[in-house]
Amino acid sequence: MKIKKYVGADFQEAIKKAKKEMGQDAIILHTRHIKKGGFMGFFARAQVEITVAMDESLQVERDRSRRVVPSVPPPVPENLPSADEPAPISGAKTSELVQEMLQMKEIMADIKSKMFEVGTIHGISDKIQAFYHHLIDNNVDGQIALKIASSVETRLPAHKNTDPAWVEEICIRTLQDYILDIQKNYELPDKKGKVVLLVGPTGVGKTTTIAKIAANLTFLENKQIAMITLDTYRISAAEQLRTYAEIIGVPLKVVFNTADLAEAILAFKDKDVIFIDTAGRSPFNEEHMEELREFISTAQPDETVLVLSVTTSTHELLEIYEKFGIMKIDRLIFTKLDETRHYGQILNAIDEIRVPVAYITTGQSVPDDIEILDPIRFARMIMGKEEIS
């Protein structure tokens, strides 16, 4: 087993370096964001580091003439203590060794899983292997990509001599079915004064997203909408929502505490939907999260929506959901799809947390750049057959 690390400006550059040197059979063991360069800790560039493994036994079929070099036993250190005189190990050293052993156990389990993945992939047709690698290149988790690719394989006829366009369509349809399977149907309770509260980290576009939804419900569905903002940390956010409210023609209240919030909800009880915009919160700041929990306890929302940016890595998306998840998240909204061409992290996130996606946003224009997540369109986007317009 050959293990090596590669660094690139982004994931795609790092994986390209790995594949060039290690080949298509290379297995990604670990990915992390790092910073390199700079001066005294400043101006360092954000980069991606991937740890890649290559099982050299897979090269045998391609190069049977490869000479096997016999392993040389490591030299035996001198002055080893005898069996009757064991070397003393401090408590700190013991703890360190235990941690190293646990890490090694995790690495070996991951390698075993990756080896199973590689073995399975080598058992399917070239067309489906290409599909699998396309999913991987689009940030789809390896286990999910393997599951989908294997499902495609079972749908193809035994002889596998099929038209490439038809195979591609089967791949898209299988991906669509997979998305449909994890996209639960969800409907708001049918009542007046439904409270919908949006939460999420800073910078994901909650305020603009609320304006888009409110405008569409007002103009296209003739719903009576009201808006409340709790985002008093940024004066610009409240003013931005006030501008949208005036353009759309819906009432807005700015509240500063839980008492104001309860009063505002009561004042809008005759509306069809009341949207509440919250301040962007760091999910790792306990003080801010506790304040948010107090507002949610007062609002008693019929639906709590977590807004996430698709430019966030899968690992961070799951971390954010875990922190906000204690508030019972009903649906998700993914923003900034216009800022990337890789959407696999959406599939990874909803596969893991099993919460349906209400909308995706595709730009800053209000009310146009928002749409319901359509499984067939999303499948085609992952396959690179459809782009954000």
Q: Domain check: are 314 and 274 in the same one?
A: yes
Q: Domain check: are 230 and 160 in the same one?
A: no
Task: Provide the number of structural domains found in the chain.
Answer: 3
- The answer to the question of residue 1 being in a domain is yes
Q: Final residue of a domain: which of 183, 204, 228? A: 183
Q: For the whole prediction, is pTM greater than 0.85? A: no
Q: Domain check: are 165 and 258 in the same one?
A: no
Q: Domain check: are 217 and 286 in the same one?
A: yes
- Beta carbons of 22 and 54 less than 8 angstroms apart: yes
Q: Domain check: are 178 and 249 in the same one?
A: no
- Beta carbons of 209 and 370 less than 8 angstroms apart: yes
Per-residue confidence of the chain (389 residues) as pLDDT tens digits?
677 888 888 777 887 888 888 776 666 666 677 766 554 445 567 787 888 777 655 454 444 444 444 445 555 555 555 555 555 555 666 666 666 666 666 665 555 445 445 545 555 777 788 888 889 988 999 889 988 888 888 887 766 556 778 888 888 999 998 888 877 666 666 788 899 999 999 889 898 999 999 999 999 999 999 999 986 666 566 788 889 899 999 999 999 899 999 999 999 999 999 999 987 777 777 887 888 899 999 999 999 999 999 999 999 999 999 988 878 899 999 999 999 888 999 999 999 998 889 899 998 888 888 998 889 999 999 888 877 76
Q: Domain check: are 178 and 213 in the same one?
A: no
- The answer to the question of residue 118 being in a domain is no
- The answer to the question of residue 272 being in a domain is yes
Residue type, 79: N
Closest CA to 334 of 322, 319, 345, 323: 345
Q: Final residue of a domain: which of 141, 160, 183? A: 183
Q: Domain check: are 348 and 304 in the same one?
A: yes
Q: Domain check: are 159 and 213 in the same one?
A: no
Q: Domain check: are 229 and 367 in the same one?
A: yes
- The answer to the question of residue 322 being in a domain is yes
Beta bridge pairs of residue 50:
6, 31
Q: For the chain, what's the residue count? A: 389
- The answer to the question of residue 80 being in a domain is no
Q: Domain check: are 136 and 285 in the same one?
A: no
Q: Domain check: are 217 and 321 in the same one?
A: yes
User: Which CATH number is 363's domain given?
Assistant: 3.40.50.300
State the residue range of the domain holding 31.
1-59
- Beta carbons of 279 and 261 less than 8 angstroms apart: no
Question: Which helix (H) or strand (E) covers residue 46, if one does?
Answer: strand 45-54
Q: Domain check: are 143 and 286 in the same one?
A: no
Beta bridge pairs of residue 274:
195, 226
ω into residue 367 within 30 of 0, thus cis? yes
